[in-house]
């Protein structure tokens, strides 16, 4: 059971309702994460704005979803792991073996694996990566825009991982077992 209120769309603050309506139009549902964050219309607007902006960036959705899986597994976020596994399978159409690999920060594609390894390093080292991490990423074909977007995708996912871990958000996607045992 969630430790913070997850209001229904109808009981969300008035300023959040248009944002939740937009989520519903895009996804066909309003996930519990969005309802939870709707407690603060400013937080919901900020999250949705950054997410939308990154969706227009240089990283494809398939890589963004893999980053989300790597970070969710690292942060032991059951909600995000379930949500991004569902999105990876059903929206991004990522192969199940690649979804499983992303949870460990790996991929059969060398460029994707370099990005996931870097994303893991950003999360695990709290951004304090070493020069070799950046060299490896550049050698794999990422420019500064790609590097910035990997870091911001990590940060966006840390944000949702943390709010879900604090709230113990009720998972409304098919559950996925974490690899780590807390």
Please give the chain's pLDDT, 182 residues, in tens. 899 999 999 999 999 999 999 999 998 999 999 999 999 999 999 999 999 999 999 999 999 999 999 999 999 999 999 999 999 999 999 999 999 999 999 999 999 999 999 999 999 999 999 999 999 999 999 999 999 999 999 999 999 999 999 999 999 999 999 996 44
Structure-token pair, residue 147 = 């590097």
Is the overall model pTM greater than 0.85, yes or no? yes
CA–CA separation, 78 and 28 (whole Å): 22
Q: Which domains does the chain have, with CATH numbers?
A: 14-55 (no CATH), 61-167 (1.20.1290.10)
For residues 32 and 58, give the distance between their C-alpha atoms in angstroms, rounded to a whole number.
Answer: 28
Q: What is the DSSP letter of 14?
A: G
């Amino acid at each position: 059971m969630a430790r913070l209120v997850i209001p229904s769309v109808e009981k969300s603050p008035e300023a959040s309702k248009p944002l939740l309506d937009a989520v519903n139009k895009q996804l066909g549902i309003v996930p519990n994460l969005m309802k939870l964050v709707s407690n603060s219309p400013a937080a919901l607007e900020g999250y949705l704005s950054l997410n939308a902006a990154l969706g227009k960036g240089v990283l494809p959705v398939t890589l963004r979803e893999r980053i989300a899986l790597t970070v969710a597994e690292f942060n032991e976020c059951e909600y995000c792991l379930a949500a991004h596994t569902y999105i990876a399978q059903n929206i991004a159409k990522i192969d199940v073996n690649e979804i499983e690999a992303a949870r460990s920060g790996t991929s059969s594609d060398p460029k994707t694996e370099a990005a996931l390894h870097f994303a893991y390093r950003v999360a695990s080292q709290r951004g304090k990566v070493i020069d070799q991490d950046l060299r490896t990423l550049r050698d794999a074909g990422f420019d500064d825009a790609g590097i910035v977007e990997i870091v911001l995708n990590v940060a966006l996912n840390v944000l949702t991982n943390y709010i879900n871990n604090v709230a113990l958000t009720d998972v409304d996607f098919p559950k996925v077992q974490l690899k780590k045992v807390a």
